[in-house]
C-alpha cells in the first residue's frame, strides 16, 4: 500500500503546489484565526484539493488538516492518518515573501510512514519513506557533518503566541545566537526542517508547533540521518510542545544553548 500512498501524496502535493503558485501572484483574500495567525483563500482551496485527492483512493482513512473547522486529534479515532498542512508559511504567502510549502504525511499504527513537502516556487520536492531514505526531487539527501556550533547555521521560528512567551523565546534565541555562526528565521517550519535534512541548515528549534507543521518534515529529517527531540532532550513526537532537530553531531550543543 505504501507505494500507492506515495503516489497519491506526491500527486496531491504537486497539484496543491500549482494552485498555491497561481494564487501567490494574485490579490490575497485574508482572514484571521488569531491576532497574528492568518488564513488565506489559498489555504482553504489547497486543503480541499488535497483531501479530495486522498478521498478518491483511500475513502476509509482518517485526515487531520490545519484548516478543518474542528481539527481532530490523532487519538480520536483509529488510523491510518493523513496529516496535512495545505500551506505552511501562510504569513509569508500573504505578504508575498517566497518561502512556503505544502506538507503531507501518512501515519499508520502511530508510526510515520511517508512524508512529502513541496516548495512550488523553487519546484523542490522533499520526500521520505520510513526505513528507505529521504530525497530531494528524486536525489538522496543527507544531513551535514558540521560538528562545531561556531561553524553551524541554524534555523528557528517564533510561535503565533510569541507575545505571551516573549521573554523565554528571546532568551533562547539570544543564547543560540551567541554560540552559532548564524541563525535564520524564514517562516516555514516544514521547509526549515527539510533544509536541515538536505544539509543547508545544521539545526532547528521552535515552540508550539502542531502535528501538521512537523509530521512530514520530521520523517524527512530522520531518514536523512538527522536527530529530533524536545527541548528537554526527550524523544520527539509530532504532538510535542516543541521540537529541536539537528544533524546529530550538534544535538547536545544546541540543547545546551536552549536550556533556560
In this prediction, residue 71 carries a pLDDT of: 58
What separation in angstroms does the CA of 90 have from each of 19, 56, 171, 187, 219?
14, 27, 26, 9, 22
Q: Do residues 141 and 135 touch, judged by C-beta distance below 8 A?
A: yes
Q: What is the 3-state secondary structure (H, E, C) of the chain?
A: CHHHHHHHHHHHHHHHHHHHHHHHCCCCCEEEEECCEEEEHHHHHHHHHHHHHHHHHCCCCEEEECCCCCCCCCCCCCCCEEEEEEEECHHHHHHCCCCCEEEEEEEECCEEEEEEEEECCCCEEEEEECCCEEEECCEECCCCCCCCHHHCEEEECCCCCHHHCHHHHHHHHHHHHCCCCEEECCCCHHHHHHHHHCCCCCEEEEECCCHHHHHHHHHHHHHCCCEEECCCCCECCCCCCEEEEECCCCHHHHHHHHCC
Residue 235 C-alpha cell reads as: 524523544
Q: What is the mean pLDDT of the chain?
A: 94
Q: Is 26 exposed, middle or buried (0-12, 13-18, 19+ CB in 10 A)?
A: exposed
**Range 3-24 average pLDDT:** 97
In the chain, the largest separation of any two C-alpha atoms, in whole Å, equals 51
Match 510515520 to its residue by C-alpha cell: 112
Question: Can you list the pairs that 246-249 forms with residues at least 24 positions away whose Cβ atoms lie under 8 Å?
Answer: 246/143, 246/196, 246/202, 246/203, 246/204, 247/143, 247/144, 247/145, 247/146, 247/196, 247/199, 247/202, 247/203, 248/143, 249/145, 249/146, 249/147
pLDDT digits (tens, 9 = 90+) for 38-51: 788 999 999 999 99
Percent of the chain with pLDDT over 70: 95
Count other Cβ atoms within 10 Å, centred on residue 22.
12
Residue 75, pLDDT above cutoff 70: no
pTM score of the predicted model: 0.95
Please tell me the class of the 149-258 domain.
alpha beta
Residue spans per domain, the chain: 2-140, 149-258
pLDDT of 27: 84
Q: CA-to-CA distance for 84 and 54, rounded, in angstroms? A: 11
pLDDT tens digits along 175-192: 999 999 999 999 999 999
**Cell representation of residue 184:** 535564520
Q: Is the pLDDT of residue 76 over 90?
A: no
Residue 10 is predicted with a pLDDT of: 98
User: What pLDDT is attached to residue 255?
Assistant: 98
Model confidence pLDDT, tens digit, residues 209-251:
999 999 999 999 999 999 999 999 999 999 999 999 999 999 9
pLDDT for the residue numbered 30:
81
Position 66 scores a pLDDT of 86
Architecture, CATH, for domain 2-140: 2-Layer Sandwich (3.30)
Amino acid at each position: 500500500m505504501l507505494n500507492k500512498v506515495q503516489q497519491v501524496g506526491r500527486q496531491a502535493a504537486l497539484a496543491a503546489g500549482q494552485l498555491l503558485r497561481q494564487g501567490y501572484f494574485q490579490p490575497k483574500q485574508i482572514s484571521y484565526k488569531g491576532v497574528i495567525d492568518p488564513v488565506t483563500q489559498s489555504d482553504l482551496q489547497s486543503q480541499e484539493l488535497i483531501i479530495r485527492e486522498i478521498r478518491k483512493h483511500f475513502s476509509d482513512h482518517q485526515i487531520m488538516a490545519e484548516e478543518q473547522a474542528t481539527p481532530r486529534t490523532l487519538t480520536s479515532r483509529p488510523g491510518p492518518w493523513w496529516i496535512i498542512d495545505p500551506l505552511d508559511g501562510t504569513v509569508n504567502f500573504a505578504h508575498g515573501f517566497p518561502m512556503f510549502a505544502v506538507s503531507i504525511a501518512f501515519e499508520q499504527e502511530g508510526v510515520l510512514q511517508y512524508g512529502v513537502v513541496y516548495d512550488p516556487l523553487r519546484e523542490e520536492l522533499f520526500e521520505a519513506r520510513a526505513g528507505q531514505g529521504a530525497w530531494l526531487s528524486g536525489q538522496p539527501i543527507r544531513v551535514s557533518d558540521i560538528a562545531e556550533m561556531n561553524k553551524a547555521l541554524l534555523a528557528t521560528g517564533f510561535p503565533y503566541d510569541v507575545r505571551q512567551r516573549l521573554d523565554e523565546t528571546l532568551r533562547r534565541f539570544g543564547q543560540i545566537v551567541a554560540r552559532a555562526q548564524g541563525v535564520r528565521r524564514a517562516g516555514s517550519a516544514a521547509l526549515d526542517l527539510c533544509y536541515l535534512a538536505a544539509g543547508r541548515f545544521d539545526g532547528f528549534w521552535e515552540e508550539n508547533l502542531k502535528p501538521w507543521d512537523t509530521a512530514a518534515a520530521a520523517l524527512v529529517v530522520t531518514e536523512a540521518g538527522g536527530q529530533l527531540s524536545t527541548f528537554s532532550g526527550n524523544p520527539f513526537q509530532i504532538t510535542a510542545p516543541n521540537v529541536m532537530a539537528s544533524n546529530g553531531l550538534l544535538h547536545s550543543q544546541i540543547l545546551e544553548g536552549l536550556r533556560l
